[in-house]
Amino acid sequence: MRGFFDPRQRAHAPAQELHNGGFVAYAETPARADAILAALGPLETPADRGEAPILAVHDAAYVDFLKTGPARWKAAGRPGDLVGYIWPIVGRRPLALDRIDALAGRFSLDAATPLTADTWTSAYWSAQSVLAALDAVLGGDRAAFALCRPPGHHAGRDYLGGYCHLNTAAIAAQAAIFGGMAPVAILDVDYHHGNGTQDIFWNRGDVFFASLHADPATDYPFYWGHADETGEGAGDGTTLNLPLPQGTTRDAFRAALATALDRIARFAPDLLIVSYGADTWAGDPISRFGIETADYRLLAADIAACGWPTLIAMEGGYACDALGANVAGFLSGF
């Protein structure tokens, strides 16, 4: 299977994140990419397909904020990385404010995703990697892998959060549709709900979004991923959320996966995009499922057995010592 990664995806490295009321080392590190590369061997460097596929999903004002925000933050005399600390909560009148502090809240979901001067570059090449993998599948490959780092599934049309800035799965889905592969299904098997992907395609009838994740009653992102969220308008019924309790192990996960695959089969997609997170692994430092390394091959084989052309986009997974083996195990199932 072909895989894609650009070395510029390493540059984004915030110093710390707000976690449980204190500051801790940022969990979404460049070392994650190195661990995956060590297990898979060198991956191909993507070509530059430009900003158009990104702007087909994300608002121009948000993209401008990602590009220019860190310099404006620095120019305002702020010593640390750019991070929001005030948010326009639901019900406030919308104000088009230009202060960088206001923009940081306007364009973010949480205070755990700082921006550095390098964030845009890394997020841009993460998106280029997913687009290169998509082209491999559009060209006839059975499956392709994009080492997306930073990840994408928490980012919405105009907001960052959960270590994510550009929604790589959504960018690939939209590009696939423009490329004539439709409808598209996105299967999100990261430990956390893919709120950004769900949000982007919430009222779309041409993209099915299915997600297995820790119950948002106990886990981030809390406000999304509940079982009663099923889409609206043209997208009514094209969102499927299967929240699972902390402690979930292989067999229960596999049963939920079968439910998701069955629903996707009824949607008859031209293309499957898998948002793959290895943070479902039993030893993950920020997650609470009990999937073992050997389980990933089996789970992936269940997906592969459906026969859809498949693009696998990397999302989370924070146990660097096991990350390479977990990703390699998952890809081996294809």
Binding site for ligand OKP (CB under 6 A): 19-20, 112, 151, 154, 162-163, 190, 192, 220, 277, 279, 315-316
The token pair that represents 151 in the structure block: 């990840």
Which class for 87: exposed (0-12), middle (13-18), buried (19 or more C-beta within 10 A)?
middle
CB of 52 vs Zn ion, minimal distance in Å: 28
Binds 151: which of ligand OKP, Zn ion, none (CB < 5-8 Å by kind): ligand OKP
Terminal alpha carbon distance of the chain: 8
- What is the closest distance, in whole angstroms, from the C-beta atom of residue 1 to Zn ion in the complex? 22
In the complex, minimum distance from the CB of residue 123 to ligand OKP, in angstroms, rounded to a whole number? 14
Exposure of 196 in the CB half-sphere (CA atoms within 13 A): 31
Shortest distance (Å) from residue 236 CB to ligand OKP:
26
Residue 163 binding partner per list Zn ion, ligand OKP, none, with a CB distance cut-off of 5 to 8 Å that depends on partner kind: ligand OKP
Reduced to 3 states (helix: H, G, I; strand: E, B; else coil), residue 333 is: coil
154 is catalytic: yes
- Point out the residue whose Cβ comes nearest to ligand OKP: 316
Residue entry with tokens 């790589």: 168
String of DSSP letters for 76-133: TT--S-B-------TTSPP-----HHHHHHHTBS-SS--B-TTHHHHHHHHHHHHHHH
Amino acid at site 281: W
Q: Which is nearer to Zn ion, 153 or 204 (CB)?
A: 153
Partner whose binding site includes residue 6, from Zn ion, ligand OKP, none (CB under 5 to 8 Å by kind): none
Q: Closest CB to ligand OKP among 147 and 177?
A: 147
Q: Could you say which of Zn ion, ligand OKP, none residue 19 binds, taking C-beta under 5 to 8 angstroms by partner kind?
A: ligand OKP
Instruction: Judge whether 100 and 150 are in contact, CB under 8 Å.
Output: no
Q: Which is nearer to ligand OKP, 13 or 182 (CB)?
A: 13
Residue with the CB atom nearest Zn ion in the bound state: 316
Burial class (CB in 10 A: 0-12, 13-18, 19+), 102: middle
For ligand OKP, the closer CB: 70 or 161: 161
- The answer, yes or no, to whether the previous bond of 221 is cis (omega within 30 of 0) is yes
Which residues are at the interface with Zn ion (CB under 5 A)? 190-192, 277, 279, 316
Query: 106 or 192: whose CB is closer to Zn ion?
Result: 192
Q: Which does 162 bind (CB under 5 to 8 A by kind): ligand OKP, Zn ion, none?
A: ligand OKP
Could you give the CA distance from residue 239 to residue 229 in angstroms, rounded to a whole number?
A: 7
Residue tagged active-site, from 154, 165, 193, 213: 154
The amino acid that residue 206 corresponds to is: D
Catalytic residues: 154
